[in-house]
Chains A and B, each alone.
Chain A
Amino acid sequence: MRMTRPPASEGLYDPRNEHDSCGIGFVVDIKNRKSHQPVRQGLEILSNLGHRGAVGADPLAGDGAGILVQIPDAFLRAECADLSIDLPPPGDYAVGMVFLPRDAHTRAQSEAALTQTIAAEGQSFLGWRDVPTDRSCLGRSVRPSEPVVRQAFIQRGPNCPDADAFERKLFVIRKQTHHAIWDRELLGSQQFYVASLSSRTLVYKGMILARNLGVYYPDLRDPRLESALALVHQRFSTNTFPSWALAHPFRYLCHNGEINTLRGNINWMLARRHNMQSDRLGADLDKLWPLIGDGASDSATFDNALELLLAAGYSLPHAMMLMVPEAWSDNPLMDPQRRAFYEYHAALMEPWDGPAAIAFTDGRQIGATLDRNGLRPARYLVTDDDQVIMASEMGVLPIPEEKIVRKWRLQPGKMLLIDLEQGRIVGDDEIKAQLAAAQPYQTWLDATQIRLQDLPAEIGPMAPDPHTLLHRQQAFGYTQEDLRAFLNPMALNGEDPIGSMGRDIPPAVLSDRPKLLYDYFKQKFAQVTNPPIDPIREELVMSLVSFIGPRPNLLDPHSAGNQKRLEVKRPILANVDLERIRRIEYHVDRAFRTRTLSICYPVERGADGMARALDDLCREAADVVRRGDNILILSDRSMDADHIAIPALLATAAVHHHLIRAGLRTEVGLVVETGETKRVHDFCLLAGYGAEAINPWLAFDTLSASLPRASVGAAVGTAPLLTETDAHEHYTKAISKGILKVMSKMGISTYQSYCGAQIFEAVGLAEEFVNHYFTGTQGVIEGVGLNEIAREAVTRHRQAFGDAPLYRDALDAGGELAFRIRGERHAWTPETVSLLQHAVRSGDYGQFKRYSRVMNDQSDHLRNLRGLFEFRFANPPLPLDEVEPASEMVKRLATGAMSFGSISWEAHTTLAIAMNRLGAKSNTGEGGEDPVRYIPLETGDSTRSAIKQVASGRFGVTAEYLVNADILQIKMAQGAKPGEGGQLPGHKVNDWIARVRHSTPGVGLISPPPHHDIYSIEDLAQLIFDLKNVNPKAAISVKLVSEIGVGTVAAGVAKAHADHVTISGEDGGTGASPLTSIHNAGSPWEIGLAETHQTLVRNHLRGRIAVQVDGGMRTGRDVVIGALLGADEFGFGTGALIAAGCVMMRKCHLNTCPVGVATQDPELRKRFPGQPAHVINFFTFLVQEVRELMAQLGFRTFDEMIGRADRLDMRRAIHHWKARGLDFTRLLAMPPVPPGVAVYHCEEQDHGLSGALDHRLIAQARPALEVRQPVRIETPVRNSDRTVGAMLSGQVARRYGHTGLPDDTIHIHLTGSAGQSFGAFLARGVTLELDGEANDYAGKGLSGGRIVVRPPTASHRRAEEHIIIGNTVLYGAIAGEFYARGVAGERFAVRNSGALAVVEGTGDHGCEYMTGGVVVVLGPTGRNFAAGMSGGIAYVLDGTSDFTRRANQAMVALEPLNDVEETLKGVASSEWSRLAQAELPDDGLRHDARRLQILVARHYLHTGSEPARRVLEHWREVLPQFVKIMPLDYRRALQEMQAKVRASARHDAAKTGLAVGA
């Protein structure tokens, strides 16, 4: 199915890359009482969620909005009566909401197609109604796409005995009509779309601003239009190509989120065709194909699948649980029956994985569910007159407080369901318990599920002799580095290894060396539109469980069938496991028949023979499946001197796709037995292209042959350090962890849904080749095909079995990680580094030109894509002095983000001084900045970094830090490891770094993979808004990494009002990262930049946003190419660092940098040779070179040059055997530019700050700001008042720094529902006291202020049982206090580094990554409490004694409170207020009880909390119920610090003693 047509793929823009996410909500009358009120309220929710939508270049063109209601029978009946249509009784007729083409002819044909299909399916067509519309509210850019909107009325035919049958028939009619019309390709036929066709529900939607929905459709304002429910949605899409069809709601749902595994889900649905049967649908099933609208949005696709499941007889909640299961596999809290339900269903369908809040309804039930990660907000309330209101945030409808009986939130993996027919809310437990009990799932499982480990043991083959091993390793592309840097370390440590300083080797397609096919694929990763996951700290949602073998019939909910399912705990099979599978037929009643297919072919057929070998393989695979074999093992074990192995990835993908096309794929399991895969990336690719399990036999053989020995230089014959079993197990574990990490950086939680999901882009593979074997994979530059890939395999085979002396006794050098003459080519070589360093140190421009000549010259060896570019110079050139002066141009330059901590103080300040002297910009990196740097040095130099980074760890991100910036850069991803977090081990956190980062010396610091306040594009818009509030003068920048689709993300970023976007190339990166990421994630900047520029121009957004490119910029030529491809600005990481003295040791992770750059070792730091002058010379030379090139190109100003890709050409004579196939046409395409549309950054974003509540607060707080005079302010607040207090705090910080004002100088009392980011970055001296509730991100970055949230005085609920603040509260808080009278959402106090907080309950992941401060929870917590918590203390009141099962104890100890006796006599209530005034005990190792008591007293004082009162009153009884959560790292660090203090005290005492003695 295709949707209305977005612009055809031109240049690098591809509609497949679009993302959306949004605001959702519903209103429902539980008792199913229909009225116009829910409709009106639904529209009101939409207008109050306005900030969650996006507006593109055209202010009236929203990204889409819609509403779903029950069939408004009375209204329609009246309307139809006017049209002389006689409607049958309700339920017996359906309404189709139809978008019709404007072209009259096509419209007539479309209408005819619909009516004909209706008749053919045995129903009666009653007539058309023209839906009135008011197009005056449509944006100019939307108008051309506006369809004719008509409603079709259909009467139930006699072949449909009941309403369900009628709905199924309507589904069939809709599908058939769509296909009939779209397939004809008539003028405008793509406009045809049936928004809804049902006897129960009706959808009004379109490309309309949310607040205008009721304007465009006057129907919606008609009081006769009545419904008991309204489901609404406001879309924020990254692009603005109007698509009426893609507006939500769809027929059954609306969705806020992303389906990350979409490609795989589509493939698997396709693969099921032959395997699906439905007794409900019968023969109609076939009419539904193609089932899935490939090319539509993820939400639309999800809706397609959901429809099918419903039609097949699943209930709505059942289908949702099947598609979006909660995390069940290792959940100790889950009921066994429910686990059995999930485990049973796991084999039926792979999860549709990704962040999702989905609201769904069929008109009879309405509900919502959250994915297992809970990465989208959804809160709801219940009123005393039986209304439920659910929305992305609270405060969207004014509901009198006293009417509210329940306020809660949707929790990860949980479901909220309202059954209108039963007239009640069905709780998550009830629905699931009921469904879990509906069938004997455990019995079914026992009967059909086989676990691999339960099969009888088998014997695996042993490793061969060294010589054979060497041949095999060579044939499968092993290098010395594979052994040295990957296999051996993995076997020793069980970890995916770390490397440093990025990647500077050519993409595989440009390499002279035979590369493995894996190298041509790059991992995709989540940025902005969906969050990556932390696979370590949030392991509970991750699962590597894989099912091998045929899948049961998806469309049979009622019986187990007799299909057996084979489950493996992880997809990496030991040799013995593979043998178990090979022989399974004899163990399991012949339910499985395994067939091993060799993927090798005779050597004499050579490279040319591979195509036929593949064809034969695919044919044979399909044949054996048809004959009944149901597990295929693709094996290259038979590779030998006479047989070449087809690359395992190619064989796997080819067979996988062949079987999908044949509709056979779900009838067979695919296992790969290969010698070729060894690194994490290899396994991920096999998985991504369909391998359900993998046996890396040669990796195991290699490990067996080289078990590491215990001591350095131990003699041969001494016992190895590891047993063979251990080595294999460690390796398997390392690979497993690596796979989890790769999955999680795309936000995918389960192997099952990762399998076949193809989350890769091809860089340098011919489209024909990709389409054939890797169908559905994107790539933009063409490249090699089967011939070259085969030739590479043949070359390796020849090396292995040939006579070359070099390979007689040794593996190939590799040389990818470290420079080797015999290895891969690097950009940074002894020559280039020394030329550059000598040039900048001597100030010799001639020397610099030699450097850039060597760096740019790729005539002998290609190193990067731009090496293949040629300039189209102007004739004649300009005189150099007519080119814009260097002083202007340097403003476009910046150094890359490198934190103080990752590099030394000397290196960091040298870069800063140099950039400040130049008038360019340096970047703090993510580690905060020492405030001394805000003060200029005596020399007049400044060490202040103009760009301040805001990364996921938020270290040192205070209001003071933010106001001291010219640019605030939100790091969404970094080139070396996009989609991943980081970790600074405790031993690197010295006193200084700890102070700057506001953490504890010696305590490790973790940066989470996602920003926990950015799970989607509208969240990013929120953070941009937050930062802009604190520092309205700073430009806000968003740093992205190049991958396919980055342009669409950048468009979203522009629409989120960022002023600046950075596109980082994959080859950048300073500092340490996992090698898997350095080498395999992200794509070259040339591709990402070109896509970004083209997409922004196409969306008319380019002028609003500055585009910076970085990652491997090295010469003036690079800068000019960057500009021609569309960059305004340029970042230099490695180049600047080398100018400052870095010699590319690539040892940043070891703290042993011999030139004092990337080390904190005081001795090594003394060796730092860099001077600001060196860095200045580097940039001066660069600019000079740029100017020379500009003169040759004939550009006077830099702006003229931006985006002029027409001045680039592909080098004509490319002789390189691989590079020959490249095609840069799409890269160099220039999008059409209508007059008035900017192609470079020259406009201002409107940040919408003018309406901020803070303007008023600042005005009223003036006495406090100016003369520190205390002020009291009263104000109402509502959900559209976002980021309250931040702008005020910026004012405080500008004047008074982080110290702020005396406590409570500015006291603001607010009433109402506060919008998101309430009290963000609140400065010391400011108190926000809120009667009402707050939404997500309250107290973000709290910088010393105090926030109190308590229910309105009118509320009579037991506040401790209701939610009062949203998700991710106190994220990155530095200091201050927070008291909430009620329950918090998920991730309370995540990454708190110093705030004190008391709440009465929390959601999942409380205190995650916390590094300091104290948190008290006076009620139940969710799961995974204290995950990654390395510092600070938490006290939890564990009333139900099950906290231990909810805590993540990997890094913390749970223990009773100490020094209890200090408090045992309790405190009389009259003394509470004095108690609250008391200082908190300093000593973090002692006085728990006292500390807790004081905090509880403060909480009581501020909120009047009932639980607090109980605790204080019954202190002796309650105290033992508290659990103290103490991070182990933190305790050790505190003990060490105390020991140090004691030792120095002793030392002093001894000295004094001596003095006295003398």
Chain B
Amino acid sequence: MGKPTGFLEIARHDHGYAPVAERVMHFRDFVAPLPEPRVREQAARCMDCGIPYCHRGCPVHNIIPDWNDLVYRGHWREALEVLHSTNNFPEFTGRICPAPCEASCTLNFNDQPVTIKDIECAIIDRGWAEGWVTPQIAAHRSGKRVAVIGSGPAGLACAQQLARAGHEVVVFEKNDRIGGLLRYGIPDFKLETRLIDRRLAQMRAEGVEFRPNSHVGADLSARALLAEFDAVVLAGGSEQPRDLNTPGRELHGIHFAMDFLTQQNRRVAGAKILGEDILATDKDVVVIGGGDTGSDCVGTSIRQGARSVTQLEIMPKPPLHENKLLTWPNWPLKLRTSTSHEEGCERDWAVTTQQFIGQDGRVTAIQLARLEWRESNGRQLMVDIPDSTFEIKADLVLLAMGFVHPVHTGMLQELGVALDPRGNIRAGEDDYQTSVNKIFAAGDMRRGQSLVVWAIREGRQCARAVDAYLMGQSTLPA
């Protein structure tokens, strides 16, 4: 399988991007994919490992060597079948996944992993282009009804799988449009919403019913759903953002990242903006939090025309190169620079916010201090460095420090499902069952904030668990 000497003959080649100056002028996708022959050439680099670490490194267990080989040989349609056999939405992961598969690729041992994510994306894009992606309509109906609450990646994956198993599935979404985090959490320049819409069309054909504007636990009684459905899947995400309780937090101009990002997506979609506009235009923007959401805030701010963008991280600056001997094939801690970072922003590490400084109730600056991380009894402790305080200008502060757990008020309280110590819903890793009969949980709501690819995995596995619960056994693939 594959080309045995491919990796020795062909260098890794990533897709390209539109130039920064051009791409920051709009909110569209700016990736320049490789032409088909080059993608096949890249696929030839796959070594068909006896232990394909990528296969395990990928949370949905994409059978990467198989589709790499098929792409190398030009069997695109079969490659798509294999890809779809593990992943409902490769067009999402092919664009926005940080690709733990590539971290665990055997060739990453030498920093030259196969361009797995690009190849995945090429397969599914071609599949859509060729019209190979069609609904898989169940031949038999089970007569069972399942409610899926939340239409993010977990909910959608779960709903699609259950529909294919012949169940009647209704997806409830509190927002006006289906897609959850995919639609409103990820900027369009990373994932254009039209990609979501065509999936939804497929799912409609497969029999999934979507109910937007249905906030279970608020507009709708959660308990009522229990009576109406044979099973209920909670896939509402981890939406409670981590806050920063420092002096000055109440000042105007300090927002949670997700509020900012959602607004921009609505803007792009031409939808109504709820509440006041949060805009970075001509502002000195400070993003607190060094993760992916923070990075999205950077890219969005730049596109909105911010005067300056600074991103702060409390942790120390990670090394440029990981120690492969001790990390591979695991996800390494290393300095990652996103396309948004390339578009122009300052980054600072090991800093802590001491207070927000404001004028007229609006934030104008932040007082920061430098930190030092010390090891004590095997644990890392952070210690302020004396006399290291400094100030930076800030008239828009975006808090992107992650999410602590699902929103507890409303639905979860009403249903009374048990929580784990971290405040997530307690449900098994195999059976996805919560403490309440008939109720299942999947995605960030169960495992805490995570990647889209993890959400898809949870959705699929949860669907299998629900199917087995309803039917006694399941033939759905996990």
> Residues of A with Cβ closer than 8 Å to B?
480, 484, 500-501, 712-715, 802-806, 809-810, 813, 817-822, 826, 828-831, 833-834, 837-838, 841-842, 1143-1147, 1150, 1152, 1154-1155, 1161, 1163-1164, 1167, 1169
A810 to B79, CA, bound (A): 12
How many CB-defined contacts (below 8 Å) exist between A and B? 121
CB 8 Å contact bits of B343-383 with A (1 = contact, 0 = none): 00000000000000000000000000000000000000000
B110 is an interface residue with CB less than 8 A from chain A? yes
Pair B55/A712 contact, Cβ less than 8 Å: no
Given the interface pairs A841-B326, A1150-B4, the reply to whether A805 lies near B106 with Cβ below 8 Å is: no
Residue in contact with B49 in the complex, picked from A821, A841, A1143, A1167, CB distance below 8 Å: A1143
Pair B109/A1155 contact, Cβ less than 8 Å: yes
Pair A818/B51 contact, Cβ less than 8 Å: yes
Given the interface pairs A805-B164, A838-B326, A1163-B8, the reply to whether A501 lies near B50 with Cβ below 8 Å is: yes
CB distance from A582 to the nearest CB of B (A): 37
B48 is an interface residue with CB less than 8 A from chain A? yes
B315 is an interface residue with CB less than 8 A from chain A? no
Q: What are 28 of the A-B contact pairs (CB < 8 Å)?
A: A712-B73, A712-B74, A713-B72, A713-B73, A713-B75, A802-B475, A806-B475, A806-B477, A817-B50, A818-B48, A818-B49, A819-B51, A819-B56, A820-B55, A828-B51, A833-B51, A834-B328, A837-B325, A838-B327, A842-B326, A1143-B53, A1143-B106, A1144-B51, A1145-B106, A1146-B51, A1154-B7, A1164-B8, A1167-B110
Pair B475/A818 contact, Cβ less than 8 Å: no
Interface of B is mostly: loop
Give 3 nearest A-B pairs by CB, closest first: A713-B74, A1146-B50, A804-B475
Pair B325/A841 contact, Cβ less than 8 Å: yes
B33 is an interface residue with CB less than 8 A from chain A? no
| Residue among B106, B136, B330, B475 with the highest chain A CB neighbour number at 10 A | B475
Q: Which residues of A contact B320 (CB under 8 A)?
A: none
Pair A818/B50 contact, Cβ less than 8 Å: yes
CB 8 Å contact bits of B122-141 with A (1 = contact, 0 = none): 00000000000000100110
A1169 to B327, CA, bound (A): 13
Q: Which residues of A contact B66 (CB under 8 A)?
A: 480
A833 to B73, CA, bound (A): 30
Given the interface pairs A820-B63, A842-B326, A1152-B8, the reply to whether A484 lies near B1 with Cβ below 8 Å is: yes
B: contact size bracket: 35 or more
B476 is an interface residue with CB less than 8 A from chain A? yes
CB contacts under 8 Å to A, within B107-121, are 107, 109-110
Pair B325/A1169 contact, Cβ less than 8 Å: yes
B290 is an interface residue with CB less than 8 A from chain A? no
> Residues of B with Cβ closer than 8 Å to A?
1, 3-5, 7-8, 40, 47-53, 55-57, 61, 63, 65-66, 72-75, 81-82, 85, 104, 106-107, 109-110, 136, 139-140, 164-165, 324-330, 475-477
Besides A818-B52, A819-B50, A819-B52, 6 other A-B contacts (C-beta < 8 A): A712-B73, A713-B75, A805-B477, A1143-B106, A1169-B324, A1169-B325
Q: Which residues of A contact B72 (CB under 8 A)?
A: 712-713
Given the interface pairs A1154-B7, A1154-B107, the reply to whether A830 lies near B53 with Cβ below 8 Å is: yes
CB distance from B54 to the nearest CB of A (A): 9
Pair B109/A810 contact, Cβ less than 8 Å: no
* Residue in chain B with minimal CB distance to A828: B51
CB distance from A1476 to the nearest CB of B (A): 52
A395 to B7, CA, bound (A): 63
Pair A818/B110 contact, Cβ less than 8 Å: no
Q: Which residues of B contact A806 (CB under 8 A)?
A: 85, 475, 477
* Residue in chain B with minimal CB distance to A1143: B106
* Residue in chain B with minimal CB distance to A480: B66
Q: Which residues of A contact B107 (CB under 8 A)?
A: 1154
CB distance from B160 to the nearest CB of A (A): 11
A1379 to B297, CA, bound (A): 89
| Residue among A713, A714, A806, A1163 with the highest chain B CB neighbour number at 10 A | A713
* Residue in chain A with minimal CB distance to B6: A1152
A715 to B82, CA, bound (A): 19
Residue in contact with B104 in the complex, picked from A830, A1145, A1155, CB distance below 8 Å: A830
* Residue in chain A with minimal CB distance to B70: A713
Q: Which residues of A contact B65 (CB under 8 A)?
A: 818
A1226 to B139, CA, bound (A): 53
A1167 to B476, CA, bound (A): 42
Given the interface pairs A803-B139, A820-B63, A1167-B110, the reply to whether A1152 lies near B50 with Cβ below 8 Å is: no
Pair A830/B109 contact, Cβ less than 8 Å: no
CB distance from A717 to the nearest CB of B (A): 13
* Residue in chain A with minimal CB distance to B107: A1154
Q: Which residues of B contact A842 (CB under 8 A)?
A: 326
CB distance from A263 to the nearest CB of B (A): 36
Q: Which residues of B contact A484 (CB under 8 A)?
A: 1
Residue in contact with A834 in the complex, picked from B55, B74, B85, B329, CB distance below 8 Å: B329
Residue in contact with A1145 in the complex, picked from B40, B49, B56, B328, CB distance below 8 Å: B49
CB distance from B84 to the nearest CB of A (A): 10
Q: Which residues of A contact B104 (CB under 8 A)?
A: 830
A1152 to B139, CA, bound (A): 47
Pair B4/A1152 contact, Cβ less than 8 Å: yes
A566 to B454, CA, bound (A): 64
* Residue in chain A with minimal CB distance to B66: A480
Q: Which residues of A contact B139 (CB under 8 A)?
A: 803
Given the interface pairs A810-B85, A1167-B110, the reply to whether A1147 lies near B47 with Cβ below 8 Å is: yes
* Residue in chain B with minimal CB distance to A826: B51
| Residue among A813, A820, A829 with the highest chain B CB neighbour number at 10 A | A820
Pair B55/A819 contact, Cβ less than 8 Å: yes
Pair A1147/B50 contact, Cβ less than 8 Å: yes
Q: Which residues of B contact A1145 (CB under 8 A)?
A: 47, 49-51, 106
Residue in contact with B109 in the complex, picked from A804, A821, A1152, A1167, CB distance below 8 Å: A1167
Q: Which residues of B contact A826 (CB under 8 A)?
A: 51
Pair B61/A821 contact, Cβ less than 8 Å: yes
A762 to B1, CA, bound (A): 33
* Residue in chain B with minimal CB distance to A709: B73
Given the interface pairs A803-B139, A1167-B109, the reply to whether A810 lies near B81 with Cβ below 8 Å is: yes
Q: Which residues of B contact A1155 (CB under 8 A)?
A: 109
CB distance from A718 to the nearest CB of B (A): 11
* Residue in chain A with minimal CB distance to B112: A1154
CB distance from B62 to the nearest CB of A (A): 10
Given the interface pairs A820-B63, A834-B330, A1155-B109, the reply to whether A1143 lies near B85 with Cβ below 8 Å is: no
A1393 to B370, CA, bound (A): 73
CB distance from B313 to the nearest CB of A (A): 26
Q: Which residues of A contact B475 (CB under 8 A)?
A: 802-806
Given the interface pairs A712-B73, A713-B75, the reply to whether A1143 lies near B51 with Cβ below 8 Å is: yes
Q: Which residues of B contact A500 (CB under 8 A)?
A: 50
CB distance from B365 to the nearest CB of A (A): 44
A1200 to B1, CA, bound (A): 50
Q: Which residues of B contact A813 (CB under 8 A)?
A: 63
| Residue among A819, A830, A833, A1144 with the highest chain B CB neighbour number at 10 A | A830
